[in-house]
């Protein structure tokens, strides 16, 4: 079976201007959203705060939970978690408590008073103090930078600089758009999402390198062709593989997204966005950029 | 042909060793899904199961910060008290000594002569208190004000030993509390990481771990009226401390004030042991203390000197009880009574036995997962792997026919290797780790897709099956290397940065990448070569 017939001659290079415009628009939309929202919607991992996951034996009204919290002076948001009718809720508080009494005990008491002690179960409590949140934020940034530098070094060693530049710009493109989509959909940016971002960096690069490898191989063979044309042929030759691998990866990520449960829902969503964007960028961003770079700063000899 | 056969044999051997090794390490984990490891499983074979993270088995993760500054302060406080007594003894006259700015000591000397004369303050300090350094002194009228500071190296030493001691104390407490496989480790300069799997009462565990448990014996000041102290002046050298009493019927909390003489007569350091006992009349639990020989002597003296007065037993600045000393107590035994539940009494005995924390601790991070949520996550994770796996396997067969089956064999072997490596290294499987497994299923076939697409291209160029396979593998090899190394770089960075669950993701992803290089390149190639050496194939099913 073949999804992409062999010998396609799609003119990817010719479409690079609309592609660049599309990418630019997506990135700008994301950045605007980030500015409007005042930065990413950090989850408690990075912002500090408390999350409590409660399961009631029967669905209750989130407003009731919110009310009962207000009684003890706690302002928080209450959100249904998981499927409707399960009676599972996520309580988020900005407050953290470093003393031993802890918030979870307070909340347990408050809910017991309102709904009865036997009707619910606190399934998960996460409290991250502001100090730790700040630490994780800077560590997370360090991790992304470290990964990018490591990758840049590896590509510079294995390929020429113009490839490395294209690859890293494509990576930044993927990461920015994924963060932007998270901001636009108002999803929380948490530790697992950061892990997903790093995975996307690795995955998208994987795609890009396959195309680059082919470009390098073909440049040797097609000395007489225009570099631009060589690149286009290379993308076409690897197109089938690019689409296929994205398919198998997307299959499992969609399964994770639908069935993995609430705890990794956002993680799977980030991967979903990242893989689509990453596949797109290795065809429409990373390779055309090499051509643009080559035109601007032609290599003395090829 | 003989050489060919020899090469086959070596490759087969390597593949079998890896596969069987992985299966042996994976087996104990697999067996627990059914029940226990069966009795026929040889004792010298691995018994370790894959370790489940707290997010999967339920439990509590805590990061505590030891407030080392407080340890320094209390150490400076002690030195100040010693210094005060010593100066008096040495007739080095001062009008004021106190601890200021947290960890500094201010001394006001009577006049400059007291400071500078031979055998005066300066000389005495140099001789007897070398850890104190003068940071400045100023003359105010006749008086000389001197500000002293502890040697910074000494301060570092106190901080470090405070964390060490806290770590040790907490470890003792948890050991006595009885948690299986706890993990307690220092993190950074003054943080302590605690992981307690399967804890079902997180609040109780937190109380037990975080209680400073500073036990003090002090006298109740009965010369002054408590009421007067509450409304107005607290007499010099006294403090007001409270006894918390919970009404057993209404649960309402009452705070009873006590006027206490601040001088500590004895601390928990004098304790030899602490045990829960039951009152023979009302059956209520209390904690009985037995003192070390030195402590017993002190206690004997204290009780003898203060017969008729009330002795307050104070824990972390809460008065537990304040019985009247009826007679001299010589046996080195004391009791702490309060309206304890049995668990409270037990935990109190534990913290007293394990000793007090050298400084208070703060909870910086807490993550608690209940066992039911953990089991939910495991079920959903396994379901995702199975469904994702089946879909990918089917996809490969539909797309690549026979070659797809070969790739699927490699994929399944890849999963077995990952599980085997996880078991062998006692790595921890977390929920994101399971997600990493699912992701690996999708990404691991990539190497085979690359190879197969290449083989198809070569076939289109008119090469024979054997030549096409040869060219496909050799041309795709470098690409696969490059592509995987970059993903591995990202995974390794995650491994360095990540904590707990995220680390689990990085671990399975990294193992998956390395294993997929082996299965997708070595194993599939072996199968192709083996089949093609036996059967003359005119057309490849790819």
If we measure between CA atoms, which residue out of A155, A13, A283 comes closest to residue B490?
A155
Across all residues in chain A, what is the average pLDDT?
87
Give the span between the Cα atoms of A248 and B400, in whole angstroms: 13
| Residues A136 and A150 placed together within one structural domain of the fold | yes
* Residues B451/A167, Cβ–Cβ less than 8 Å: no
pTM: 0.81
Does residue A8 lie within any of the structural domains? no
Contacts of B385 (CB under 8 A, 6+ apart): B415, B434, B437, B438, B441
Percent of chain A with pLDDT over 90: 27
| Residues A203 and A78 placed together within one structural domain of the fold | no
Does residue A6 lie within any of the structural domains? no
If we measure between CA atoms, which residue out of A212, A203, A222 comes closest to residue A286?
A212
Task: Among A128, A158, A184, identify where a domain stops.
Answer: A128
| Residues A80 and A194 placed together within one structural domain of the fold | no
Note whether A129 contacts B439, CB cutoff 8 Å: no
In B, residues 428-487, which contact A (CB 8 Å cutoff)?
431-432, 435, 438-439, 441-443, 445-446, 449-450, 453, 456-457, 460, 475, 478-479, 482-487
For chain B, say whether A6 makes contact (Cβ under 8 Å): yes
Does residue A269 lie within any of the structural domains? yes
The secondary structure of residue A85, as a DSSP letter, is T
For residues A269-276, average pLDDT: 94
| Residues A67 and A163 placed together within one structural domain of the fold | no
Q: Counting one residue from A and one from B, how many pairs have CB atoms under 8 Å apart?
A: 221
* Residue B111: both structure tokens together: 């006049």
| Residues A156 and A260 placed together within one structural domain of the fold | yes
What's residue B6's pLDDT?
A: 65
In A, residues 92-151, which contact B (CB 8 Å cutoff)?
97-100, 102, 104-105, 121-129, 131-132, 139-140, 142-143, 146-147, 150-151
Q: Of the CATH numbers 1.20.120.1200, 3.40.50.970, 3.30.70.930, 1.20.1640.10, which one belongs to the domain with range B2-58+370-534?
A: 1.20.1640.10
Class of B211-368 in CATH: alpha beta
Q: What's the longest Cα–Cα distance across chain A?
A: 81
Q: How confident is the model at residue A106 (pLDDT cuts 50, 70, 90)?
A: confident
Angle, vertex CA B224, rays to CA B218 and CA B226, nearest 5: 80
Task: Among A128, A156, A173, identify where a domain stops.
Answer: A128
Domain that holds residue A124: 49-128
Nearest CA distance, A208 vs chain B (angstrom): 8
Give the span between the Cα atoms of B471 and A244, in whole angstroms: 21
Q: How many domains does chain A have?
A: 2
pLDDT tens column, A8-28: 888 998 899 999 999 999 999
* Residues A69/A30, Cβ–Cβ less than 8 Å: no
Task: Among A96, A128, A160, identify where a domain stops.
Answer: A128
CATH code of the domain containing A87 = 3.30.70.3400
Note whether A127 contacts B365, CB cutoff 8 Å: yes
Helix H or strand E encompassing B379: helix B371-424
| Residues A104 and A209 placed together within one structural domain of the fold | no
Note whether A143 contacts B497, CB cutoff 8 Å: yes
Helix H or strand E encompassing B168: helix B152-177
| Residues A21 and A163 placed together within one structural domain of the fold | yes
* Residues A143/B494, Cβ–Cβ less than 8 Å: yes
Of B445, B483, B490, the CB nearest to A201: B490
CATH 3.30.1360.200 in chain B, residue ranges: 211-368
| Residues A173 and A209 placed together within one structural domain of the fold | yes
Of B203, B365, B494, the CB nearest to A128: B365
CATH 3.30.70 in chain B, residue ranges: 69-154
Contacts of B360 (CB under 8 A, 6+ apart): B67, B70, B212
What's residue B417's pLDDT?
A: 93
Query: How long, in residues, is chain B?
Result: 542
| Residues A28 and A113 placed together within one structural domain of the fold | no
| Residues A183 and A235 placed together within one structural domain of the fold | yes
Q: Sign of torsion, CA B121 B122 B123 B124?
A: positive
| Residues A69 and A27 placed together within one structural domain of the fold | no
* Residue A179: both structure tokens together: 């963060």
For chain A, say whether B208 makes contact (Cβ under 8 Å): no
Spans of chain B, pLDDT less than 70: 1-6, 33-37, 228-229, 247-251, 499-500
Of B206, B365, B369, the CB nearest to A100: B206
What's residue B65's pLDDT?
A: 92
CATH code of the domain containing A247 = 1.20.1640.10
Q: Looking at the predicted structure, is the pLDDT value of residue A221 above 60?
A: yes
Does residue A113 lie within any of the structural domains? yes
Nearest CA distance, B386 vs chain A (angstrom): 10
- Please give the CATH topology (third level) of the domain spanning B69-154: Alpha-Beta Plaits (3.30.70)
Pairing of the two strands B361-369 and A120-128:
antiparallel
Pairing of the two strands B428-429 and B51-52:
parallel
| Residues A272 and A159 placed together within one structural domain of the fold | yes
What's residue A253's pLDDT?
A: 93
Q: Looking at the predicted structure, is the pLDDT value of residue A100 above 60?
A: no
Give the span between the Cα atoms of B330 and B303, in whole angstroms: 8
Secondary structure of residue B338 in the 3-state scheme: coil
Q: Looking at the predicted structure, is the pLDDT value of residue A301 above 60?
A: no
If we measure between CA atoms, which residue out of B112, B118, B115, B296 comes closest to residue B217?
B296
Of B203, B373, B392, the CB nearest to A124: B373
- Which residues does chain B have within 8 Å of residue A250's beta carbon, measured at their own beta carbons? 442
- Which residues does chain B have within 8 Å of residue A214's beta carbon, measured at their own beta carbons? 479
Give the span between the Cα atoms of B272 and B252, in whole angstroms: 35
Three-state SS letters, B264-294: CCEEHHHEEEEEEEECCCCCCEEEEEEECHH
């Amino acid at each position: 079976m073949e999804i992409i017939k062999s010998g396609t001659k799609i003119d990817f290079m010719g479409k690079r201007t609309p592609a660049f415009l599309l990418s630019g628009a997506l990135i700008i939309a994301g950045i605007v959203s980030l500015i409007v929202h005042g930065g990413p919607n950090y989850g408690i991992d990075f912002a500090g705060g408390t999350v409590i996951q409660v399961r009631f034996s029967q669905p209750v009204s989130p407003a009731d939970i919110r009310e009962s919290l207000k009684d003890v002076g706690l302002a928080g948001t209450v959100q249904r978690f998981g499927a409707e009718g399960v009676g599972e809720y996520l309580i988020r508080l900005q407050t953290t408590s470093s003393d031993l009494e802890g918030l979870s005990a307070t909340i347990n008491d408050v809910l017991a008073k309102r709904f009865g002690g036997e009707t619910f179960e606190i399934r998960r409590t996460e409290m991250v103090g502001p100090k730790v949140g700040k630490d994780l934020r800077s560590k997370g940034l360090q991790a992304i930078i470290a990964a990018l530098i490591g990758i840049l070094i590896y590509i510079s060693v294995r390929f020429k600089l113009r490839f490395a530049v294209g690859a890293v710009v494509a990576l930044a493109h993927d990461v920015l758009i994924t963060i932007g989509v998270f901001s636009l959909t108002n999803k929380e940016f948490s530790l697992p999402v950061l892990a997903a971002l790093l995975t996307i960096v690795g995955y998208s690069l994987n795609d890009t390198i396959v195309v680059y490898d082919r470009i390098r191989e073909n440049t040797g063979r097609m000395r007489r062709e225009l570099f631009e044309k060589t690149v286009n042929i290379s993308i076409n030759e690897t197109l089938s593989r690019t689409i296929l691998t994205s398919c198998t990866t997307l299959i499992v990520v969609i399964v994770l997204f639908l069935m993995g449960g609430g705890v990794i829902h956002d993680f799977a969503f980030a991967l979903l966005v990242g893989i689509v964007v990453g596949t797109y960028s290795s065809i429409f961003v990373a390779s055309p950029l090499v051509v643009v770079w080559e035109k601007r700063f032609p290599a003395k000899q090829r | 042909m003989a050489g060919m056969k020899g090469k086959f044999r070596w490759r087969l051997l390597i593949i079998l060793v890896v596969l069987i090794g992985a299966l042996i390490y994976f087996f104990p984990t697999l067996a627990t899904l059914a029940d226990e490891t069966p009795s026929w499983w040889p004792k010298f074979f691995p018994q370790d199961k894959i370790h489940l993270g707290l997010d999967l088995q339920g439990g509590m993760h805590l990061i505590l910060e030891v407030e080392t500054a407080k340890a320094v302060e209390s150490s400076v406080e002690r030195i100040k008290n010693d210094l005060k007594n010593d100066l008096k003894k040495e007739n080095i006259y001062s009008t004021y000594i106190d601890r200021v700015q947290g960890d500094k000591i201010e001394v006001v000397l009577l006049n400059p002569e007291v400071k500078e004369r031979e055998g005066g303050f300066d000389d005495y300090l140099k001789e007897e208190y070398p850890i104190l350094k003068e940071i400045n002194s100023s003359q105010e009228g006749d008086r000389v004000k001197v500000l002293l500071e502890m040697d910074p190296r000494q301060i570092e030493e106190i901080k470090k030993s405070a964390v060490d001691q806290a770590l040790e104390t907490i470890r003792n407490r948890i050991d006595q509390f009885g948690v299986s496989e706890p993990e307690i480790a220092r993190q950074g300069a003054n943080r302590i990481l605690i992981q307690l799997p399967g804890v079902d009462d997180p609040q109780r565990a937190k109380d037990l771990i975080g209680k400073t448990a500073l036990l003090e014996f002090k006298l109740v000041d009965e010369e002054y009226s408590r009421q007067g102290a509450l409304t107005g002046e607290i007499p010099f050298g006294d403090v007001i401390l409270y006894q918390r009493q919970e009404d057993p019927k209404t649960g309402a909390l009452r705070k009873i004030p006590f006027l206490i003489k601040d001088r500590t007569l004895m601390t928990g350091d004098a304790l030899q042991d602490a045990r829960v006992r039951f009152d023979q009349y009302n059956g209520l639990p209390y904690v009985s203390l037995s003192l070390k020989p030195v402590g017993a002597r002190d206690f004997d003296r204290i009780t003898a000197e203060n017969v008729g007065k009330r002795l307050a037993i104070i824990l972390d600045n809460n008065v537990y009880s304040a019985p009247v000393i009826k007679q001299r107590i010589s046996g080195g035994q004391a009791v702490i009574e309060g309206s304890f539940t049995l668990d409270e009494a037990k935990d109190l005995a534990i913290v007293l036995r394990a000793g007090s924390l050298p400084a208070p601790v703060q909870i910086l991070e807490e993550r608690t997962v209940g066992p039911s949520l953990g089991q939910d996550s495991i079920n959903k994770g396994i379901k995702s792997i199975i469904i994702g796996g089946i879909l990918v396997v089917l996809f490969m067969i539909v797309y690549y026919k026979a070659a797809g089956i070969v790739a699927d064999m490699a994929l399944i072997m890849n999963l077995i290797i990952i599980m085997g490596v996880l078991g062998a290294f006692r790595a921890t499987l977390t929920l994101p780790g399971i997600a990493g497994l699912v992701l690996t299923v999708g990404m691991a076939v990539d190497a085979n897709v690359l190879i197969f697409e290449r083989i198809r291209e070569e076939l289109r160029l008119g090469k024979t099956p054997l030549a096409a396979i040869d060219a496909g593998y050799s041309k795709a090899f470098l690409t696969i290397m490059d592509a995987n190394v970059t993903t591995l770089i990202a995974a390794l960075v995650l491994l360095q940065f990540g904590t707990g669950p995220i680390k689990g993701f990085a671990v399975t992803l990294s193992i998956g990448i390395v294993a997929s290089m082996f299965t997708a390149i070595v194993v599939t190639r072996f199968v192709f070569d083996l089949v093609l050496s036996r059967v003359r194939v005119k057309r490849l099913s790819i």
